[in-house]
Structure 1
C-alpha cells in the first residue's frame, strides 16, 4: 500500500503545482463500507502536507495545505430520521444514500469552488460525534490557506443527484475497490469492536442487511473515475478501529485525523 499511496500523493502534488493560487484542488474518494477509503484519504492528506512543509519549512510551518473531510458529518441526525415516514426503517438503514444530507454537501463544494481572495473567510464542515451518534455542525474548519481538499464517503462517485453534481465539480474522483467478502469480514470485526453489535452473528446481519446493500448501489451506480484503487486483504488497508457503525464507513479519531 505504501508505494501506491506515495504515488497517488506525488501525482496530486505535481498536478497541484499548476493550480492558480485563487483556486482549490478537490478530490473525492469513494468506495463501499469497509473498503479502506478513509485510511487512504487520511494517509494521502498527511503525505501532501508533509510535501508542502518540506518545500519551504519556514513559510509553511503550521499551515497545512491539505484538509481531509469525511462524509460522516453529513448523516441526517437521529431526530431527522425520527421525522421520516418510516423512522424504524430509516434508523435501520442509516448509511443508505437517502439518510445523508447530500444537498448540504453540494453547498460546501460550491463554496470551495469560489475564488480565494484576501477577504475569503474560513469555511466549515460538520463532523460526527460517535458517542452521541449525531453530526456536529461547523466542527471542521477549512481555512483559505487550505487549497487541497480530500473528501471521502460512500456516495461521492454515485451517478445520482446531488452526488453527481458534486462529483462534476471535483478535479479527481478516486474509487477504492474491495471484494465484498473482504469488506464483510472487516465490517463484522469493526461492528463487534465498536460495540454496536453484540456478537459476530449480529454484526454479520448488520453488514448483510445494510452495509453491503449500500455497497451494491455504490458499485452499480458508480461514475467513471480517474483512479481505481484495489484494496486487498492486508492489515494496512484495514478500516480505522475508532469507527462506529450504524451503516457509516470508518471515521478516524479526531485527535489523530489530519483535519484542518
Structure 2
C-alpha cells in the first residue's frame, strides 16, 4: 500500500478507536474531477475493513465496519435537469454543483450523526447507474454495523451551503490535490472509455468546458480540511 495511504488509514483507525460505541466515524474525501478521490476512498475503506477483520475475528466477515458512499447518487436525474429554468445548460453542465441534490446529501449525513441504538435501521442511499445515466434509488445500504462511513465526491468539502453544513458534520475532511493537467489527461481517457465522448478531442472539450470549470470552484471554494493528499500517477493509484 502507498505510504501516504497507509498513514491515512492508521490515522482514521486510531481516531475511530476513541469515539463512543454508539457513534459513527465519518470521513469526507473531496477533490476535483479526475483527482483520484474515488480510488483513494475505496482503498481506505477496504484497508479499514481488513484491519477490523484481523483485530476482530469474532465478527462475521460479511459484516464490515466501513461503508463507502460516493456522492454520485445525488446527481439530479435527467428529468429534474430538464425541469430547471435553463435545461440545455443544466444538461451540458451536468456535474456542476447546481446539478446535485445537496439538501438530500445533507439529510443523509445528519441521519448518520444520530446515536446508534438497538432500534437503528439500515439507511438506504442512491448510487449512480452509468448504463441509464441516472441515480438508482436505495441501492446502497448503510447498516447499523457500519460504524465508519467514507464519503467521496466533488463537493463534499465545498464551502457553500448545504455542502458546508454536511462537511462540518464530518470527523475527517481530506482533499486530494492534483495538477489540472494530470486530471485532464485522466478525464479524457475516462470519458472515451465510458462512452461519454466519441473521441479524445470531444472528451477534451468536455473536460475543459465543464469538469475543470467545476474543478476551479472546488479548489477555490474549499472548506478547511484535515489532510491534503497528493494524488500519485502510479499503478496502485492511477485513475479515479
What's the offset of the Cα at 1:232?
A: 2.9
Q: Does 1:104 align with 2:104?
A: yes
Identify unmatched segments of 5+ residues in structure 2.
none
Distance 2:59 2:147 in 1: 15
Distance 2:213 2:55 in 1: 44
Query: What's the C-alpha RMSD, in Å, of the aligned pairs?
Result: 1.0
Moved over 6 A (4+): none
Q: Deviations over 1:83-141 (max 9, x none)?
A: 01111110000000000000000000000000000011111110011000000111100
Distance 1:56 1:29 in 2: 26
Give the corresponding residue for 1:196. Answer: 196
Distance 2:127 2:232 in 1: 28
Give the corresponding residue for 2:42. Answer: 42
Give the corresponding residue for 2:226. Answer: 226
Give me the TM-score of the superposition, normalised by structure 1: 0.90
Distance 1:118 1:239 in 2: 40
Give me the TM-score of the superposition, normalised by structure 2: 0.98
SS at match of 1:114: coil
What's the offset of the Cα at 1:187?
A: 0.4
What's the offset of the Cα at 1:193?
A: 1.1
Distance 1:52 1:42 in 2: 15
SS at match of 1:39: helix
Identify unmatched segments of 5+ residues in structure 1.
241-260
Contact 1:158–1:218 at 8 Å: present in 2 too?
yes
Contact 2:29–2:152 at 8 Å: present in 1 too?
yes
Distance 2:14 2:226 in 1: 15
Give the corresponding residue for 2:58. Answer: 58
Count how many residue pairs are aligned between Structure 1 and Structure 2.
240
Give the corresponding residue for 2:179. Answer: 179
Contact 1:52–1:60 at 8 Å: present in 2 too?
no
What's the offset of the Cα at 1:61?
A: 2.3
Q: Deviations over 1:171-220 (max 9, x none)?
A: 01000000000000000111111111111110000000000000000000
Contact 2:232–2:238 at 8 Å: present in 1 too?
no
Q: Does 1:118 align with 2:114?
A: no
